[in-house]
Chains A and B, each alone.
Chain A
């Protein structure tokens, strides 16, 4: 089937550049070119020694964790409200919340820079980046949790109330367990997006760069290219790991609720 061949070729094309990473991360040469020169772990060792990188990573992790928490909480609120009854202005309100999905990030970066620095006169810090990242991650969280909440039978909450629970305990005992896989996915996705986000961080970074911003600074120097390859290898491996976990959770969540798997987050 020629369509099958096309699809496989497409997949290979998609992955080809990424596969170069481990290839050259262990390659004993400063120039990324064929033929390969020999095996070395020097570049990884160099990574372990670079203080600036460690600081950047720590920053990024902190920002990513906070972003994941905030955007998931906001996502739960919006998705829950969205799955419930229609209220006036619902479309517009949900639309506004989801707009960051279709806005070029540079607009968000520039707009927030203007407000933070020129209008409010606030200094830039990790928190500005956290607020900005939360803004762009919330739509993803909403999209993921929408699916989770819409799969719920709205009568279940009422049934729990009828059987003696309060609104909060009904949420805790019935809704939450069924939405937890969606929450976990949302946390992981938001975390990943924030970790990798560059342009907003670039515009809003204070004294402490995030990891992508740090990588950007490295790219200026040809000598640091292999180190970047090594770092890239680690990052990709980490992303794949996180995503696999997210996918396992998603599938487990569906099995728990007895819902058929339609594939994918969206």
Chain B
């Protein structure tokens, strides 16, 4: 709009209307997100015995998390799995996004994106279950390999451990990674690339010096979009992880629903959230440093 700059002071009628409009979703988010998260923060400082909650402030839950090795191990494993999955999905997704953006005709792009996102919209539960079926002792891979004669005994290292979790999650979150990278690549002004080539840069150098830095916001978004939900995933570790493949979300669920220890579960949730936020911020920060260093 061609309005002059709004200085501090009175709100225009337009602004008032905007604020009235945004109030319902905003208040909804406060009531159903901010308040409950605040509640679990509170809970993490309390204790529970069966059904009674003792509201005296205490750091015991956090102490227990720090002391007992199992929690640290779970958090570490969750972090490791999330980083692996993120690396695999983003690295394998980038060429596909690049392909669609640069090597597909305009009219066909929608179709490719549509095809890529369909699996994303089908039931997550079913897809995880399918991997269980594929990787199982009597599953698709084993029965095929046995049939063909490549192996004599079914493989056991592909299910009920961390590997299975990583494989399954990488498959499930693949489309998440493609879209943000694609959007960033699309935004790149093609004439910049032509200019680089015109000035004598080879294909590889044009890519590393022009395309990749400009696509970085998309890569960062892809990393975050995969990393954050993966670290909090419950279904895949529960179905595929076995004893050694469980992640932090499974422990949180156990505390809440099985062990009736909501405060400990809450503390675990807070710690997990803090860890996720810290890693995400660290990644964004490092990325900015890398970009700035290239200038």
Q: Which residues of A line the B interface, CB within 8 A?
A: 1, 3-4, 6-7, 10-11, 13-15, 17-18, 20-21, 24, 31-35, 73-75, 77-78, 80-82, 84-88, 90, 93-94, 96-97, 99-108, 110-115, 118-119, 131-132, 134-135, 138, 142, 154, 189, 192, 196, 198-199, 202-203, 212, 215-216, 219, 225, 228, 232, 235-236, 239-240, 242-243, 247, 251, 261-266
Contacts and interface: CB of A to CB of B under 8 A. Distances in A.
Interface string B104-125: 0011011011111111011111
Given A31-B138, A84-B21, A212-B125, 6 more contacts: A17-B134, A18-B122, A107-B269, A203-B253, A247-B110, A264-B110
Interface residues of B, number: 98
Nearest to A94: B22
B134 to A, nearest CB: 6
B231 interface: yes
Interface in B72-105: 92, 95-96, 98-100, 103
B228 to A, nearest CB: 5
A1 B98 CA distance: 13
B119 A14 contact: yes
Contact of A138 (B6, B25, B123, B186): B25
A32 B116 contact: no
B256 to A, nearest CB: 6
B15 A87 contact: yes
A85 to B, nearest CB: 5
A185 B115 CA distance: 16
A97 B25 contact: yes
A113 B143 CA distance: 43
A110 B19 contact: no
Contacts of B138: 31-33
B186 A262 contact: yes
30 contacts: A3-B99, A4-B99, A4-B103, A14-B119, A21-B126, A74-B24, A77-B21, A84-B21, A85-B3, A85-B18, A93-B22, A94-B22, A105-B234, A106-B232, A111-B36, A113-B256, A131-B32, A138-B29, A198-B124, A215-B123, A215-B125, A219-B129, A228-B126, A232-B126, A239-B121, A243-B117, A264-B110, A264-B179, A264-B183, A266-B179
Q: Which of A77, A78, A85, A110 has the most CB of B within 10 A?
A: A110
| Top-7 shortest CB links A-B | A104-B232, A111-B36, A33-B143, A81-B22, A81-B21, A74-B25, A263-B109
A7 B124 contact: no
B6 A154 contact: no
A114 B18 CA distance: 33
B131 interface: yes
- Provide the main secondary structure of the chain B interface: helix
Nearest to B98: A3
B18 A14 contact: no
Given A135-B32, A196-B123, A33 B140 contact: yes
A114 B36 contact: yes
A119 B39 contact: yes
A75 B136 CA distance: 42
A84 B124 CA distance: 36
A176 to B, nearest CB: 15
B193 interface: no
A88 B186 CA distance: 31
A112 B139 contact: no
A3 B25 contact: no
A114 B14 CA distance: 39
A97 B256 contact: no
A7 B96 CA distance: 5
A100 to B, nearest CB: 7
Contacts of B129: 219, 228, 232
B95 A3 contact: yes
A85 B15 CA distance: 6
A23 to B, nearest CB: 9
Contacts of B109: 261-263
Contacts of A243: 114, 117-118, 121
Contacts of A99: 29, 33
A26 to B, nearest CB: 15
